[in-house]
Amino acid sequence: MLSPKQGTVYFPIVWHAHQPVGNFPWVIENAYQKAYLPLLQTISKYPEIKSSLHISGSLLLWLQDNHPEYLEQIVTLHNQKQIEIIGGGFYEPILAVIPDRDKERQIQLMVDWWEENYKISPKGLWLAERVWVPNLPPILKNMRVEFTFIDDYLFQMAGLSEQQTYYAYMTEDQGDPITIFPINEKIRYLVPWRDSKETIQYLMKGCDEFHEKIIVMISDMEKMGVWPAGDRTTYDICYVDGYNGTPWMNSFFEEVISNPWIKPILISDYLKEHHPRGLIYLPTSSYDKMAIWALPSPLRKRLEKLYKSINENEIEPKLAKDIKTFAKGSIWHNFLIKYSQANIMHKRMLHCRAKVRSTEKSLPELSPDQFKRIWEKIFISQSNDTYWHGLFGGIYYRFLRHSTHKHIILAEYLLDRLRSKEGLDQFMGSIQDVLLDGQLDGILENKYVSCYISSLFGGSIFALNLKKHGYNFLNVLTRQKEPYQSTKMQSVQDRFEKWSFQDHFLLTEVLEDSLQNDTYNDLGNFANKIYKISQNPDQSLTLMRRGVISLENRSIHTKISKQFRLQNTKLLIEYDINFSEALELGKLVFSPEINLVGASYPHKTSGIINGTQFDMEKSLTCSKCHTIEIRDLNEGVLIILNFDQSLDCVVFPLLSILKSEIGFEELYQGTSIFPKIGISGKKVHFVIEMLLKSIESTSKE
C-alpha cells in the first residue's frame, strides 16, 4: 500500500442527476427510490467522502414538489462541507446551440434557484452532455463561473498524454479565462462495473509526490441504480450485494477512505490551494461515444467497426493507437442534420424566440416579468434530451418530442395574447428561411393555428400547430436505419422526409407493403424537390414546381401548383396539376402523402375512417374514403381530413426500431396516409381540408 509520504492524488467525486422535461412521473419516482435516495443515504454515512453534485432544473422542480426532504438533506450535507453544488443551464440545454443571451439566462436561472431557495451560490458549471465549444469562456466569465468539467478525450485530442490530464488547466477566448478539469474516462468505465479495488489501482497512476495531481470522477446518478446490468440492475450492484456480497458503493467509499494517499476533495477547495497547470485550447466536441453517435449512420457504422477491430486486437498496436488518437467522430450539432425532426424543433425554437425579441423591442415599456412565462416555455423547449439519440431513446420517444413542441407552441400562444392585450398586430403569413437551410419557408398563422411549409423538401408541411393546446399534428419522425439494427430487423430507411403533402405519382396497382416499406417506384420528381413559393394577396401561399413523370418510356412534363389557405382552425390545400399530354384513366394515380402523429403518449390514440374506428397499429387499404380522423385522447385534440371526392387510401403506422437501455424497442412514430387520386386527361383539380379541433368542442357540437 502506498503512503502519503510517497505521494497523494486528489480525487473529486462528481455526481450528475437529470430527468428529461416531459418524462413520466413514475419513471422519475423509480429513479428516486433506486438511485437518488440510496446514493445520498450512503454518502451521508461517510463524512470523509466529499462529493460535488449537479441536479438539472427540471429534476430540482420535481424534487421540490415530491421529495423536499431530499433537498433539505443535500443542504445539510452542503452546510457540513461534504457536498458542493454545481450549477449549469437550468433546463439542461446544449449551451453550444442556443443564443448567448439564452446561455446566460439559463445559467442564471440555476444560480437564482439555489440562492432563493437555499442561499447556496454554485461556483462551478455542468455542461449538458459535456458539449464544449471554444467560444464559451466569455459567457462563463460573465456569469461568474469559476470552473467546469470537460472529458479528457478532448484534452488528448489537443495533444496531452494521459498523465498530463491529471491536472486542472486554463483556457480562454477573447481574453476571458476559465478553469477546466478533465473528466477521467477510465474511471467512468470502471464505476460501478468492476470491483472497486480496480478504481483504487487506477488512482495509483496519479499518485504525485508534489501533491498536485487531480483525477476527476464523474458519474450519472441514474447509472448508480436504474441501469440494467445483465440479469439485475445497478441498484443490486451498488446497494444490495455488489460483486462479493458487499454493496459496491459501500465498498468503494471504504476503499477510498482506507487509502490515505487518496484525497477526496471539493473542487472549490482544491482551487484554494492549487493553480491550473497551464493554458490549453480544446476542440469542439463532447465525450467519445457522443462524437461517434453524431455521425451519419453509415459513417458511424464504419467507425464503430474500426474501434471494434482495435478492441479485439485485430490491428497492430502502434497503428491502433494512432487510429484512436486521430480517428474522431463528429460534433453534437450534426444531430440537427441527422434527424430532421431535431432541426425542426431547434429552428422553430429560434424562430419563436425571434418573435419574442421583436415584441420586446416593440414594447420597451413592459417589464421583464410580463414576458417571464413566455421565456420559461422557450427555455424548457431547449432541454437537450429530445434533440439527439445515442444509447437511450432521445428523439425516438415521441412523448419527449411532443413536450418540446408543446412548449414552443405555448410560447407562441402566450405571445399572441400579450400582443393582443397591448394592441400589437397578430403575426400573420410570411415567407422566410425558418429552417436556415438556404431556402424559403412559408408560414401561415392566425390566433388559432400556425403552419410551416418547406420549399426545399417538396413544398411539404413540417409543422401544423393548434396553439392553445400546444399540439403539433406533424410530430412525425422520418425513419432511418441505425447501425445497431441487424439485417433481420424490419427497419426502413425513408427516402423522403415524412412531412405532409409530399407529392408522388404511382402506378395504379401500387402495393400496400411497398408504400409501408418505402420500396415503391415514384414516377415523378417532386417529393423532396425544390418548389417555388409565393404569397398571395389574401395571405395564402402557393407552392409550384415544374417536373417530369416517367411513364412507359415517355417523359411527361408536369406542373404542380398547390395553394395553402388558413381559415380559423381549418387548413385548405387546393391542388392544380397540369400535364403536357392527356393521360389515360387507370394507368397512374397521384398521391399527396400525409403524415400525422397519432398520440403524445402510448395507447392514448384512435383513428376513424368514414365514421368507423380502425387499428392504428395495422396497415389497411380503404375504398371510397372521404374522411379520416385521428384523435389524441390524452391531449384532447383531433384532426379531421376531408377529401372533396371519395377515393382509395392506404393507411399504415410508421414504426421505428431503436436500441435503448432496456434493449430493442419498436415504437410508433405516426400514421402515414397515401390518398390515391385517379388521373384522366391533361388536368387534375382537387381540395383537401384539414380541420384541427379540441375533443371538448367536438362533444359540445
Task: Tell me if 289 sits within 8 A of 330, measured CB to CB.
Answer: no
The position carrying cell 455488489 is: 242
Alpha carbon distance 613, 182 (integer Å): 57
Nearest CA to 654 among 472, 475, 526, 506?
Answer: 475
The closest of 130, 134, 129, 142 to 103, measured between CA atoms, is 142
Task: Tell me the DSSP string of 583-597.
Answer: E-TTSEEEEEEEEE-
Contact 238, 252 (CB under 8 A): no
| Closest of 428, 461, 457 to residue 540, by C-alpha | 428
CB atoms within 10 A of CB 191: 22
- Does the annotation mark 576 as catalytic? no
Residue 195 catalytic? no
- Phi-psi region at 552: left, alpha or beta (left = phi > 0; alpha = psi -120 to 50): left
Distance between CA 285 and CA 150 in Å, rounded? 10
DSSP state, residue 8: B
Query: Which residue in 129, 416, 482, 635 is the catalytic one?
Result: 129
Handedness of CA 573, 600, 387, 230 (dihedral sign): negative
- What is each CA distance from 130 to 26, 182, 287, 332, 672, in whole angstroms? 27, 11, 7, 10, 37
Supply 557's cell numbers: 412534363
Answer for the pair 18, 56: CB distance below 8 angstroms, yes or no.
yes
Is the sign of the CA dihedral 343, 437, 476, 666 positive or negative? Answer: negative
Catalytic residue among 195, 198, 220, 376: 220
CA distances, 501 to each of 146, 498, 506 (Å): 51, 9, 15
Separation CA 260–CA 238 (nearest Å): 23
Quickly count: other Cβ atoms within 10 Å of residue 575's Cβ.
18
Q: Go through 297-325 and write b for each residue having 16 or more CB atoms within 10 A of its CB, e for each that does not.
A: beebbebbebbeebeeeebeeeebeeebe
The catalytic site residues sit at 129, 220
